[in-house]
Structure 1
Amino acid sequence: MVVLDVALILLASAQCGVFSSTQAHQFGLSNQDLHRLARKGHLVRLCHGGYALPQALECATADLRYLLTVRAAVLARPVRSWASHHAGLAVHGLPLHGVDTTSVDVCGRVTRRARSTGLEVHPLPEDEPCQVVGGIRVVSAALAVVQVAARSVAGGLVAVDAALHGGLVSDAELTAAADRAGLGPRQRARVAAVFGMADRSCESPGESLTRMLLSGLGLAFRTQVNLADSMGLIGRVDFLVGERVVVEFDGLVKYSGADGREALAAEKQREDRLRAAGYEVVRLTWADLKDPERVARMIRQAAARSAAH
């Protein structure tokens, strides 16, 4: 009967529960042995040549499972490679929006791009200051952000806002990364659009996407605005459209549990003060962001109510 060597289990545990088939071969396991162990549930195959101990995936969120897949994919590469694109974002702890988490991108010392099931290999840009983060080889946060922005404006905006807000990158680093990324004209245009919309004061992916939506609707607005009444500061709002319409993105997660109930009560008191001061409040959820016409209608109606006061 094929069993996992204790030393291999210890090695995998030191690597957050994952290992490569090459590492397993060093402990006497063949590819057939690994397939057999995976079929019996003693291992989980994450990608070509990458495996995880089942306990590493217990209660794992989708984001954590993807990060483990990235880790396994980098380990499984026969030549030195670095996680890149949205795989790089995951390693740097940046949010993933609208990306394909069934695939992993890496950069390596190759002359041209190559693709196989679940893996895409790209040439590593010259002068790229690669790093090791959490034990995983990865391109710089700036390059990963640029690579994602070159593919998706929405995904890129979420990533660049978070990277700037968290201090992971500077404007100069983003510009330098865009210059060395080897982008085509359309990709450069997409990245420039993302950079033009970036806002380091943005505090969540939902706010980034709300800002993009408001811009797309052609509305004049300000972000992260402090509002006050006769008693003093009411608080900072996500967006102020015109002069009297407050738009807030509400992810709802913060209102769960006992602490959430307190937060909800405080939020209601804050909103009551805003309304008493003559502001109208529009709250948006993830579902609203998928319906721009509905959002536009909500804001028009709020503006009309404000004007009628």
Structure 2
Amino acid sequence: MEEIVLPDHVVRTKELLAAGWTRDGIRRAVEKGHLTRIRQGWYATPLADERVLRAVRSGGALACASALAHHGAWDVTAGVVHTRMDHNRVGSLPAGLKRCQAWHSKLDVAPEQAVDDLAMALRTAWNCLSLEGFLVVCDSLLHRNLMTRHELSRALRHAPGKEVVLDKTDRAESGTETMVRYRLRSRRVQLTPQVEIPGVGRVDFLVGERLVIEVDSREHHTGEENYQKDRARDLTLRAMGYIVVRLTYQQVVHDWPETERCLVAMIQRGDQWWGSRRGRKVA
């Protein structure tokens, strides 16, 4: 049993024993570096993710936004490791860890796995994240085909107001797109995501008739090839009469107040309409 294949590369002692390991076999695997003891009753292989190790080492499981990111959703943790643990566990957590609790349970039991599944992670995120953060992860779960809308709804069954929240989900290819959509719609700006423009392709947002908003992210708009492609698209759109605004990750995540001020000024001026309709404002 030299080769060890484990979900998330973390396993409990009882699972190893149930799979046919002996305690001597576990000890030899530790001596050879194939396994590392994280805490009593838990072991990991050298391939285990550091965030998973920190969560299990603290006495819990990787949970909430951290588990969602681990499964492939957009990461809204800002470097904080979200954990879920038995309600009887007391004491403070090390710096950089946050204890979370599923919305439906005041008495969390000790996690059976190192990483919560998507449904449990989503229920915990409901109780932890802001509305914007929750929409970011829901949009990414849908976009990346990690969950369907039906599965989102089922995971949140009985959550108060879940349909109102899920109705705010929409098409988005990145978390920054969700942020822009949510924030502008909160200002009553009417914008349509993922609009197909003949001769150009799909743009992130179209406000009114001609104001195109493209939202760059660290994930999709880096590198010289993408840079050149994006600028070529922008030039084509401008030649067709569209006004193109391209927002950087920095402008969305860190400089939003000034970014919003500029966008609202353009919209209030009527830049989103063709010449004959300029001056028509969006509330």
TM-score (norm 2): 0.67
Matched residue, 2:108: none
| Amino acid paired to 1:238 | D
Q: 2:250 aligns with which of 280, 287, 297?
A: 287
Distance change >3 Å, CA 209–CA 123, structure 1 → 2 = closer
CA drift at 1:288: 1.6
Question: Match for 2:154: what amino acid?
Answer: A
State yes or no: 1:138 paired with 2:116: yes
Which position in structure 2 is the counterpart of 1:96? Answer: 75
Question: Is 1:157–2:127 an aligned residue pair?
Answer: no
What SS does the aligned partner of 1:211 have? helix
- The C-alpha deviation readout for 1:168-210, integer Å capped at 9, x for no partner, is 3233332232225xx5xxxx35x555313111x2111111111
Q: 198, 206, 226: which one pairs with 2:169?
A: 198
Name the residue aligned to 1:298.
Answer: 262
The answer (yes or no) to whether the contact 1:113–1:122 under 8 Å persists in 2 is no
CA contact (8 A) 1:50 1:69 kept: no
Q: In structure 2, give the amino acid aligned to 1:175.
A: S
2:50 to 65, 81, 102: 65
Match of 2:65 in 1: 86
Q: Larger % of strand: which?
A: 1
* Aligned mates of 1:121, 1:177 — CA distance in 2: 17
Residue 243 to residue 262, structure 1, CA distance change in 2 (3 Å): same
Does residue 183 of structure 2 align to residue 219 of structure 1?
A: no
Is the Cα contact below 8 Å between 1:280 and 1:302 reproduced in 2?
Answer: no
Once the two structures are TM-superposed, the CA of residue 246 in structure 1 deviates from its matched residue by 0.9
* Displacement after TM superposition at 1:122 (Å): 5.4
Matches within 5 A, 1:38-77: 56=47, 64-70=49-55, 72=56
Distance 1:138 1:216, change over 3 A: same
- Secondary structure of 2:188's match? coil
Q: What amino acid maps onto 1:198 in structure 2?
A: T
Residue 251 of structure 1: SS of its match in structure 2? coil
Farther-moved stretch of structure 1 (112-121 vs 280-289): 112-121
Measured after TM superposition, the shift of residue 216 of structure 1 is: 2.3
Alignment partner of 1:261 is 2:224: yes
Q: Name the CA shift for 1:98/1:56 in 2 (closer, same or farther; >3 Å).
A: closer
Structure 1 residues 110-259: aligned runs within 5 Å? 114-116=89-91, 117=93, 120=99, 138-139=116-117, 141-152=118-129, 153-180=131-158, 188-189=160-161, 191-199=162-170, 201-228=171-198, 233-256=199-222
Structure 2, gaps ≥5 residues long: 17-21, 106-112, 276-283
Shift of 1:270: 0.8
Residue 218 of structure 1 deviates from its aligned partner by 2.3
- Structure 2 CA distance, aligned partners of 1:211 and 1:274? 21
Q: Matches of 1:92 and 1:293 in 2, distance apart?
A: 32
Residues 292 and 100 (structure 1 numbering): CA distance in 2 closer, same or farther, change over 3 Å? closer
* Amino acid of the structure 2 residue aligned with 1:278: G
Q: 1:283 to 1:17 in 2, by over 3 A?
A: same
Equivalent residues of 1:244, 1:279 under 8 A apart: yes
Secondary structure at the aligned position of 1:297 is classed as helix
The change in CA–CA distance for 1:47 and 1:301 in structure 2 (over 3 A counts) is farther
Q: Deviations over 1:236-287 (max 9, x none)?
A: 111111222111111255454xxx3222222111101111111111111222
Distance 2:41 2:78 in 1: 23
CA distance in 2, matches of 1:220, 1:176: 30
RMSD: 4.3
Are the structure 2 counterparts of residues 178 and 295 from structure 1 closer, same or farther at C-alpha, using a change threshold of 3 Å?
same
Aligned length in residues: 252
Equivalents in 1 of 2:40, 2:266: separation in Å?
Answer: 53
The equivalent position to 1:270 in structure 2, one of 228, 233, 237, is 233
Q: 1:21–1:49: 8 Å Cα contact kept in structure 2?
A: yes
Distance 2:51 2:258 in 1: 33
Q: Distance in 2 between matches of 1:91 and 1:288?
A: 26
Q: Output the CA distance in 2 between the equivalents of 1:113 and 1:194.
A: 32
* Residues 253/158 of structure 1: CA separation in 2 closer, same or farther (3 Å cut): closer
